[in-house]
Structure 1
Amino acid sequence: MQTILITGTSSGYGLEMARHFLDRGWKVIATMRHPDTRLLPSSPNLRILPLDVTNEDSIAAAVAGAGPIDVLVNNAGIGVVGAFEVTPMANIRKVFDTNTFGVMAMCQAVIPQMRERRSGVVVNVTSSVTLAPMPLAAAYTASKQAIEGFTGSLAQELAHFGVGVRLVEPGYAPTTRFAQNTDLRIEDLIPPAYADFAAPIFEAFSQPTLTTKETDVAEAVWAAVHDMSGRLQFPAGADAVALFQGCHG
């Protein structure tokens, strides 16, 4: 039985990933800042552990408590939407602490055991904004673009040891709590000068023609974990797939 550790499983993509792998007989280590045993079905193959990816002690405790990890999925993430010029630097740093440095810290904590066993897979979840940057999400886009470059380099670095590294790039999901944990409201980050520019963008978000379902992302992670071709990028959702094909032909 293989073991997968997933960060950010309290809602959305991470929660669906945990269900997906549990249903297929995997041992799942579901991690979240504030563990809630009500979120997932009771199973001898499930452990729910506290984890704050911005805290080194929390990371060390979760990885030690998990035991041998065959697959690491770095899914935890937060966002901020609004005009960049009025976005507080403190909040930008908070986004990077989770989306970028949190991913890197988790990789450093888990890679040694995979390298020693010469097996394992790391999946980093980014976003379709890395395929087509969108306005009013500059800080979020930057934090995810950093992980794209990081993952591409890490994949080459770890291939020598038989460890796979993959990217899953979800598209837009209306149900995603995009700005959770940032202590900001979108309306506070749209100054009057940006109102006319922002209105049609938010209108388009409210009525997307192509959307990404949570199951799309879970299935993309499953495919990434089992892929043996050395492929790096796995877009998830119809909109992300369309953007990926537009970029790569």
Structure 2
Amino acid sequence: MNTVLITGCSSGFGLDTARYFLDRGWKVIATMRSPRSDLLPASDRLTLLPLDVTSDESVRNAVEAAGPIDVLVNNAGIGWLNALEGTPIDVTRSVFETNTLGTMRMIDAVLPQFRERKAGLIINVTSSVTMKPLPLLSVYTASKAAVNAFTESLALELAPLGIAVKIVLPGAAPDTSFGSTALSRLEETGGFPAPYAAFADGVIAAMRTPEAPKTLSSDVAEAIWYAANEASAPMRIPAGADAIALAQ
């Protein structure tokens, strides 16, 4: 039985991916900052673990508790929406600490067991905005683009060790709490700077256009499943109608 460890399973992509793998017979290590047993169906193949990807100790403890795994899915991330001038430097640090360094921290923790077995797969979830940048997402895009570049280089150094690395690039997903959380954080830090306010209103209105193709959480779960189970899958896998359209 294959085992997958997924970060950020409290909602959205991570939660749906955990359900998807459980439904298909995998052993799932679902991690989140504060584990909730009510989010996933009871199963002897499910283990819930606390994990904060910004903490060395938390990552180390979770990986030790998880035991041997076959696939690591780095899904945990935070969103941020604002102009650079409206982004406090501590917010920039927190975005990179979770989205970029958190991914690196998790990979570093699982590599010893992968190297020992000369096998293992790492799937990093980034974003379609790295294919076509959008305004007001410069800091967030930079944190995810860094993961893309890191992954492509990492794949070359791990291939001789029998370890594979993939990237899943989701599009915009209105059925998750990701966007609403970003907007809440925006309000907490004072909103858009005045010179960008009118422009920002137009950008947000365009993002909410109902006719625009969007990504469902299930699209991302399916893409991650494909990456985990299809040896011939490409390194970069777009997830969702809008992401697929951008990749063509």
Q: CA deviation at 1:51?
A: 0.1
CA contact (8 A) 2:176 2:217 kept: no
Alpha-carbon separation, structure 1, partners of 2:208 and 2:233: 37
Q: CA deviation at 1:7?
A: 0.1
CA contact (8 A) 1:83 1:189 kept: no
Moved more, 153-162 or 51-60: 153-162
CA contact (8 A) 1:73 1:123 kept: yes
Identify if the C-alpha distance between structure 1 residues 156 and 230 changes in structure 2 by more than 3 Å, giving closer, same or farther.
Answer: farther
Residue 77 of structure 1 pairs with residue 80 of structure 2: no
Q: 5+ unaligned residues in a row in structure 2: which ranges?
A: none
Aligned to 1:89: 89
- TM-superposition CA deviations, 1:131-173 (whole Å, max 9, x none): 0011001110000000000000111111111111000000001
Q: Number of residue pairs matched?
A: 245
Secondary structure, counterpart of 2:178 in structure 1: coil
- Identical counterparts, % of pairs: 55
Moved more, 83-92 or 41-50: 83-92
Secondary structure, counterpart of 2:79 in structure 1: coil
Q: Which amino acid aligns with 1:207?
A: T
Aligned to 1:48: 48
Secondary structure, counterpart of 1:189 in structure 2: coil
Secondary structure, counterpart of 2:161 in structure 1: coil
Alpha-carbon separation, structure 2, partners of 1:145 and 1:90: 19
Moved more, 149-158 or 227-236: 227-236
Moved more, 110-119 or 17-26: 110-119
Q: What TM-score, normalized to structure 2? A: 0.95
Residue 190 of structure 1 pairs with residue 153 of structure 2: no
Q: Which amino acid aligns with 2:197?
A: A
- TM-superposition CA deviations, 1:165-213 (whole Å, max 9, x none): 0000000011333364897224833122112211121111222410000
Q: Which amino acid aligns with 2:220?
A: V
Alpha-carbon separation, structure 1, partners of 2:220 and 2:206: 22
Residue of structure 1 aligned with 2:222, choices 197, 219, 222: 219
Alpha-carbon separation, structure 1, partners of 2:92 and 2:220: 25
**After superposition, where does 1:1-249 map in structure 2 within 5 Å?**
1-178=1-178, 180=181, 184-186=185-187, 188-208=190-210, 209-229=212-232, 231-245=234-248
Q: 5+ unaligned residues in a row in structure 1: which ranges?
A: none
